[in-house]
Amino acid sequence: MIPSTLEYTKATSIDEAIAAVQAGARPLAGGQSLVPMMRLRLAAPGAVVDLGGVAELVGVCEDGDEIAVGAMTTHRAVAADPLIGEHCRLVAQAASGVGSLVIRSRGTIGGSLAHADPHGDLPAAILAAGGSVVARGPGGERRIEIGDLVTSYLTTSLADDEIITQVRLPKGNAQSAYAKFHRRAIDWSIVGVGVAIGADGVRAAATGVADRPTRLAGFEAAVNGGGSIAEAAAAAGEGLDPTSDLDGSAEYKRHLVGVLAQRAYLEAQG
């Protein structure tokens, strides 16, 4: 299939990129979601601005209690990054399972978050890690917690003229893991669960159970309240209302949340 007609510009700085977005262009990061959607004509942006030439958007560095990850850092780089692996292991794990090797070469962490697929692994992993993004627009920068970023299917709270420039991952998530379940290796997760055991207790979040990544309140309450892991797993699906589809019923998906939360928790414990 063939994309519709479009105009293309390539930004070399964040400011250039924001100017193009202000003028109506859609940001094109790694393109691993947007280009296929354009091919199927599910998306038809009249103009795109390629962020691939903005050097300052790439790379991982320590910044106090956080790790700053450039939005255009590829899944492959995130998966292999020693800082992320040490301090935020579940995010590295989630990145290593996105798509396939050829997709991880191009796809980016910022692009995944902005695309906001309800089956994406990175939003759930970063939500469990307590991460946030830095968004920049003409009026300057702001922080958006991941839990506030995704608002619905393929929809975020970013303003039309904002782009994600950084993902901020808190340290202190060394004890963490991401567990996913899918049919084929390349498939989107039916359900995925990230668990982080931090100083303030256990955080857990799932993908595939709602229109956005979702904290597992039942699981967290049980495990932080001193319950057994089996009790916590049984409570993990509480309050969730996933969609029944070809991958399975809502009941099955709620059950999977518990199975995966338990597996991730046990792996996080080491």
Partner 1 sequence: MATVERKTGGGIGEAVLRKEDRKFVTGEGRYVDDLRLPGMLHAVFVRSPFGHARITGIDTAAAEALPGVHRVLTHATLPAETGVLCASNPPGSDVRQPEQPLLARDEVRYVGEPVAIVIADDRYLARDGADLVHVDYDPLPVVCDAEAALADGAPLVHSEYPDNAAATLFHETDGFAEALAGAARTVELRVVNQRVTPMPMETRGCIGDWQQSTGEVTLHTSTQVAHFVRTFISFVCGTSEAKVRVVTPDVGGGFGAKLNTYREEFAVCSASRVLGVPVKWIEDRSENAVATIHGRDQIQYYTAGVDESGRIVALKLEAFQNNGAYHQLLTPTISHLTVFMVPGCYDIQNISIRMRQAFTNTTPTDAYRGAGRPEATHGIERLMDAIADDLGLDPAEVRRVNFIKPEQFPYSSSTGLVYDSGDYDTTLDEALRLADYAGFAARRAASEANGRYRGIGLSTYVEVCGLAPSAVTAAIGVGAPGWEHSTVRLHPTGKATVITGTSPHGQGHATSWSQIVQTELGVPFEDVEVIHGDTAFQPYGLGTYGSRSLAVGGVALYRSLGKVREKAREIAANLLECSVDDLEWTGSSWQVKGSPDRAKTIQELAGAAWAASSMPEGVEPVLEATTFHDPPNFTFPFGTHVCEVEIDPDTGRVEIVNYTAVDDCGNVINPMIVDGQVHGGIIQGLGQALYEETVYGEDGQMLTPTLVEYLVPSAADVPPMTLARTTTPSPSNPMGVKGIGEAGTIAASAAIVNAAVDALSGLGVRHLEMPMQPARIWNVIQEATS
Partner 2 sequence: MGQTITVTVNGTAHTAEVDPRTLLVHFLREQLTLTGTHIGCDTSTCGCCTVHLDGEPVLSCSVLAVQADGCAVRTVEGLAEGGELHPIQQAFHENHGLQCGFCTPGMMMTGLGVIEQNPNAADEEIREALEGNLCRCTGYQNIVAAVRSAADQMARS
Residue 156 binds which entry of partner 1, partner 2, none, CB below 5-8 Å type-dependent: none
Task: Compute the least distance from the CB of residue 2 to partner 2, in Å.
Answer: 7
Site for partner 2 contains 184 (CB under 8 A): yes
Contact partner, 28, from partner 2, partner 1, none, Cβ < 5-8 Å per class: partner 2
Q: Which of 134, 259, 116 is nearest to 195 (CA)?
A: 259
Binding mask 127-166 toward partner 1 (x if CB under 8 A, else -) reads: ----------------------------------------
Residue 117: CB minimum distance to partner 2, A: 13
What's the rounded Cα separation, in Å, for the pair 58 and 106?
12
Alpha carbon separation from 7 to 10, 45, 48, 111 (Å, rounded): 10, 9, 6, 19
Closest distance of CB 162 from partner 2, Å: 22
Asked if 2 is part of the footprint of partner 2 (rule: CB under 8 A), the reply reads yes
DSSP letters spanning 120-157: -HHHHHHHHHT-EEEEEETTEEEEEEHHHHEEETTEES
**Cβ atoms of 243 and 186 closer than 8 Å:** no
What is the token pair recorded at 116?
């906001």
Minimum CB distance to partner 2, residue 197 (Å)? 27
Figure out which of the listed residues 2, 140, 199, 226 binds partner 1, where binding follows CB under 8 A: 2
3-state secondary structure of 27: strand
Q: Both tokens of residue 217?
A: 């309140």
Contact 60, 83 (CB under 8 A): yes
23 binds partner 2 (CB under 8 A): no
- The amino acid sitting at 106 is R
Binding site residues, partner 2, CB under 8 A: 1-8, 10, 28, 31-32, 35-36, 38-40, 50, 52, 76, 99-103, 105-106, 184-186
